[in-house]
Amino acid sequence: MEPSTTSVIVDSLTRAIIEHRLQPGTKLAEQKLADHFGVSRTLVRQALFQLGQNRLVKLEPARGAFVAAPSVQEARQVFQVRRMLEAQMTRELVRTITTAKLKALREHLAHEKAAVDRRDAAQRVELLGDFHVRLAELCGNDVLAQIVRDLVSRSSLISLMYQRDAAAAHSQEEHVELVKAIAARDEKRAVKLMEDHLLHVEENLAFDRPVPTHDIAQALA
């Protein structure tokens, strides 16, 4: 068996979920997946566990694995909390910004742009979310960083499932402008850019996408 088999299953299911070919809430039966990929259920189980760690799949004891299904209400509440928290975080960072911190942020922006340019949905969502975690880390507050990390993790699945390609590119451009304002120590502008940015991300989520399928074979075809 090829050592990359598990990653092939993870990648295939990830694409089916983020490209909206699998309906949120779909049961991912181990045997059906094993038959589809021609592998053992053990390898399928490993792949599903990894997807569970990435919050794309919900693992329920005695019931199995299901495609995660964040609701529109949950998505809106997550972004409401993020706007309140990250506005203050931005103020703190503007007041404590250094040359070294700016260098770290600009390096991250370069990685973001590369992922957006190659249309790598999973990588771009990860990097666009990590940007906010990086801001929190640079504030030097471990509790803040952990809270933002948890919120971003919840946002990432929402973005993977509902964000349009054009919106992702726009988010990256807004990150660039935010870093410019932070570098200029323009607190008022930086806070406004952060609030507007998170609002734009929420507004550009495509909650009206066509309903995908529950049929695993059809979704992975």
Average pLDDT of the segment spanning 107-121: 91
- 3-state SS class at 163: strand
pLDDT at 124: 84
pTM over 0.75? The answer is: no
76/151 same-domain check: yes
pLDDT at 217: 66
Average pLDDT of the segment spanning 62-66: 93
- 3-state SS class at 22: strand
Residue 5 neighbours by CB under 8 Å, 6+ apart: 37, 39, 43
89/195 same-domain check: yes
Domain count, the chain: 2
Tens of pLDDT, residues 66-109: 998 777 788 889 899 999 999 999 999 999 999 999 999 999 99
CATH code of the domain containing 141: 1.20.120.530
Residue 164 falls within a domain, yes or no?
A: yes
Residue 216 falls within a domain, yes or no?
A: no
pLDDT at 182: 98
177/79 same-domain check: yes
178/116 same-domain check: yes
Domain that holds residue 198: 72-203
The answer to which of 31-40, 160-169, 206-215 has the lowest mean pLDDT is: 206-215
144/177 same-domain check: yes
pLDDT at 3: 46
pLDDT at 1: 39
Stronger pLDDT, 6 or 72, i.e. the higher one: 6
Element (H, E) at 59: strand 57-60
Residue 217 falls within a domain, yes or no?
A: no
Average pLDDT of the segment spanning 116-140: 89
Residue 211 reports pLDDT greater than 60: no
88/177 same-domain check: yes
Q: CA 137, CA 135: separation in Å to the nearest integer?
A: 5
152/125 same-domain check: yes
Average pLDDT of the segment spanning 163-177: 85
42/129 same-domain check: no
pLDDT at 215: 63
